[in-house]
Chains A and B, each alone.
Chain A
Amino acid sequence: MPSDESWLDRFVSGLPETRVFQRLASWLLVPYWAWRTPVKPLPGGPHPSIQPGDNIQCMMNLIMPLKDKSPIGRAKAALAIAQNKDAIYAGLDNVGTVHFARFVIVGDNICMFSVYDGDFTNYIRDFIATIGGVFNAVVKLVEGGDAVTPCEHNVEAFIQWVHERDLYQVPDTATDLLRDQEALNGDKASFGHDDLRLLPRKVVLQLRANANVSLGSGYRAYPGFSAAQVRNQLGIGW
C-alpha cells in the first residue's frame, strides 16, 4: 500500500496468505504455542447471569456425532425427527419456553440448535418430562448416548451430558474472550501485564481446544422478550 514499501516488505506482508505459511502455522506454530501456552476449553452454554434479559432467548447448540457414519445412519436420524413431529410440537406448546428449535445434519453429526427462556437445567428437565421419548430416539443414535438413555431414568446424568455437548458461546466483543479465559483460570484482576496483540493467538488456541463454537450471543430482532410474552402480545394464547 504505502509507496516506500520494498519488495521484501511486500513479500513478508503477503506471507500469511501463502500456502506454505498456512501449513507451517497449522502444523508447527499452533501445536507449539498450544504446548507452550496451554489454554483450557471454555465451558459451553450461556454465560451465567442474574439479569433477566440474559435469561431469556438463551441458546443451546448441540453437535452430536452419529454412531453410524453413513447415509443410512444419517437417514435414521432424519427419520427419528420426522416420526416424532407431533411429540415435538406437543412438548413445545406444553413447555412454553422455546422460541424455536432446529435439528440439522452436518456431516456425520446431528445438531440441535434452540432458543429457550429460563434456566438450562429446567429447560432440559421439562423436555425430558414431556418428550423424553424423542430425546431417547435421537440420543441412542449418537456416540456416548447409550450411557444416558432412557433419559427419564437418568435425568441428572442426561442434563450433564447435554451440557457437556453445548457449544462455547464466543462473546460478542472480542476482548471478552480474554475475560472468559481469565475467569476460567481464576484471574479476577482488572489490571495486568497483558499483550493485547496476542489476542489472535488466544482465539486460535481456544478454537483448537474447542473446535466447534457458537459465534456471538445471537442476533435478535426483539431481545428481552420471552416466547410467552411474544405470543401473548400477538394475541395467540399460551
Chain B
Amino acid sequence: MTGSSVAKQLVDAIIANLPEPAPGLRPVHTMGVGVDGYFMASDVARNYCIAEHFRGHRVEVSVRFSNGFGGPKQHDGWSDVRGMATRFHLQGGVKDGPATDLIATTLGEFFARNVEDFFEFTKIARQHPVQRESPWRKILDMLQLKEPVRDPYPKETTNTDAGALSYANRYRFAQLAVFEAAQIGAPVSYTRATYHAIHTFMVEDPHGVRRPVRFSWQPVAGVRTTDPTATPVDKYLRHELEERLRRWPARFMLMMTIGEAGDALDDPTKPWSARRVRVVMGTLTLTNLAKDQVADGERISFNPWRLVPGIEPSGDPILHARRCAYEVSREMRGGCPFIRSQADAK
C-alpha cells in the first residue's frame, strides 16, 4: 500500500498544478452533481460475484457525475474527461451506512503505470499559457499532415495539453490515454457517455473461483458528444440532467469484462482486448438530482478501496496509491470520512 506521505505528495502535486486554487473543494473533478438512483443486479451477476449488490435485490445508490478539470470554474462544454462515482448503499440502503464504491471515468485507460510515472507526468504536464497557433504555423502543420493544435476556448488562458503531449511523446505507455483524452469532447448529457473503472479487480464467485475483471457503465440512451466546432456552453450538464430525470429515469448497464491469463492486471495504461467475455451485471436507474447537493454532491467522498467481500483490488500500483490519496484529499476539503466497510473491518 502507498503510505500517507506519498499520498500527500500526490495530492499536493495535483493542487500545485491547478489553474486556480480551489480550497475546500476536490482538487480534480471539482465541479459535479449528486444524483439518486437504484441498482438491480442481472440474473447472472450472482454467478460471477458474491458481493451483496450483485444478489439481485434493489440497492439504493448515490452517484456523483463530474467534469475532470480541477478548479472552481465550470466549463461543461470544453473537451474533458468526465467522472461517474457510484456508491452502492448496502444492508438496507441507509446513506452513511455500509457501502461500496465504483469510480469510473470516460477515459478507458490511465496515463501512468505507477506513482513514479504519475509524479513525472505532473512535472511535465504543467499548466502552460496557451494562445491560438498562428495561421502560418497551422499551414506548416497541414503541409506535414500533422494533427492541428486545438484552438484555446474563449477564456482559456492555460492548459496542460502541451506538457501531456510531450510526456506521451517520450513514454509510449501514455500515448493511448493522452491521445484519447485530447479527442474526448464534451457529452451532450452526463447520461450519454460510457464510463470505465479502468483498474482490474478480482471478483469471487459462489464456488470460490476468483476472476480478474474490469467494470464499465454503458448508457442505455447511447453515447453522444456535442458539436466540437460550436462555441462551447459553460453550464448545461446539471440542468440537462435535472430536466431529463424530471421526464424519465436514465439508465446505465454495468458491464464486467473478464480478463484472461496474459492480460494486464496491474497496469492501468493497457486496455484489454475487446474480445474478452463481457457479462451484464445489472442496471442502474437514476431517478432525480439529490436534494441535498452539499451532502450528496460535495461532502460525499468516494474511495476505490471501499469494497465488499466478493470484490478485491488487484495489485495495480495506481489503484493502491489512490486509497490514501483520496483520504488525504477528503480530509483537506472536509469531506465525509471513509466509513469502513465490512471488508475493512475484518
Give the complex CA separation of A53 and B168 in angstroms.
Answer: 29
**Contact, CB under 8 Å: B145 / A2:** no
Give the complex CA separation of A29 and B152 in angstroms.
Answer: 27
Specify which of B149, B152, B277 is in contact with A2 (CB 8 Å cutoff).
B152
Interface status of A27 (Cβ within 8 A of chain B): no
28 contacts between A and B (CB under 8 A): A2-B132, A5-B132, A5-B151, A9-B135, A11-B135, A29-B143, A30-B145, A49-B273, A52-B260, A173-B180, A175-B179, A178-B172, A178-B175, A195-B146, A195-B169, A196-B165, A196-B168, A197-B141, A197-B146, A197-B147, A197-B165, A216-B274, A217-B273, A217-B275, A223-B278, A224-B275, A224-B276, A224-B278
**Contact, CB under 8 Å: B168 / A54:** no
**Known: A12-B135, A197-B147. Contact between A174 and B278, CB under 8 A?**
no
Specify which of A25, A53, A179, A217 is in contact with B145 (CB 8 Å cutoff).
A25
A201 CB to nearest chain B CB (Å): 4
Interface status of A103 (Cβ within 8 A of chain B): no
Give the complex CA separation of A25 and B230 in angstroms.
Answer: 26
**Contact, CB under 8 Å: A53 / B260:** yes
Query: Known pairs A53-B260, A176-B176, A216-B274. 6 more at Cβ < 8 A?
Result: A1-B232, A192-B169, A196-B165, A198-B146, A223-B274, A224-B258
- How many B residues touch the partner, as a band? 35 or more
Give the chain A neighbours of B260 by CB distance below 8 A. Answer: 51-53
Specify which of A50, A189, A191, A194 is in contact with B262 (CB 8 Å cutoff).
A50
Residues of chain A at the chain B interface (Cβ within 8 Å): 1-5, 8-9, 11-13, 15-16, 21, 25, 29-30, 33, 49-54, 56-57, 172-176, 178-179, 189-201, 204, 216-217, 219-220, 223-225
Give the chain A neighbours of B179 by CB distance below 8 A. Answer: 174-175, 196, 199
- CB within 8 Å of A: which of B254-289? 258, 260-263, 271, 273-278
Give the chain A neighbours of B151 by CB distance below 8 A. Answer: 1-2, 5, 9, 13
Interface status of B236 (Cβ within 8 A of chain A): no
Residue of A1, A9, A11 with most partner-chain B CB within 10 A = A1
Interface status of B223 (Cβ within 8 A of chain A): no
What does DSSP make chain B's interface, helix, strand, loop or mixed? Answer: loop
Give the chain A neighbours of B176 by CB distance below 8 A. Answer: 173-176
Give the complex CA separation of A11 and B142 in angstroms.
Answer: 13
- Top 7 closest A-B pairs, CB basis? A224-B277, A201-B145, A12-B135, A197-B147, A175-B175, A175-B176, A223-B275
A183 CB to nearest chain B CB (Å): 12
**Contact, CB under 8 Å: A3 / B154:** yes
**Contact, CB under 8 Å: A54 / B172:** no
**Contact, CB under 8 Å: A15 / B139:** yes
- CB within 8 Å of A: which of B289-327? none
- Which residue of A has the minimal Cβ distance to B278? A223
Give the chain B neighbours of A33 by CB distance below 8 A. Answer: 144-145
Give the complex CA separation of A16 and B148 in angstroms.
Answer: 11
**Contact, CB under 8 Å: B178 / A220:** no
B131-162 vs A, CB cutoff 8 Å, 1 = contact: the mask equals 01001001101111111010111100000000
Specify which of A57, A172, A190, A200 is in contact with B146 (CB 8 Å cutoff).
A200
Interface status of B170 (Cβ within 8 A of chain A): yes
- Which residue of A has the minimal Cβ distance to B109? A173
- CB within 8 Å of A: which of B199-250? 229-232
Give the chain A neighbours of B258 by CB distance below 8 A. Answer: 224
Give the complex CA separation of A216 and B263 in angstroms.
Answer: 19
**Known: A2-B151, A175-B176. Contact between A193 and B275, CB under 8 A?**
no
- Which residue of B has the minimal Cβ distance to A6? B135
Give the chain B neighbours of A1 by CB distance below 8 A. Answer: 151, 229-232
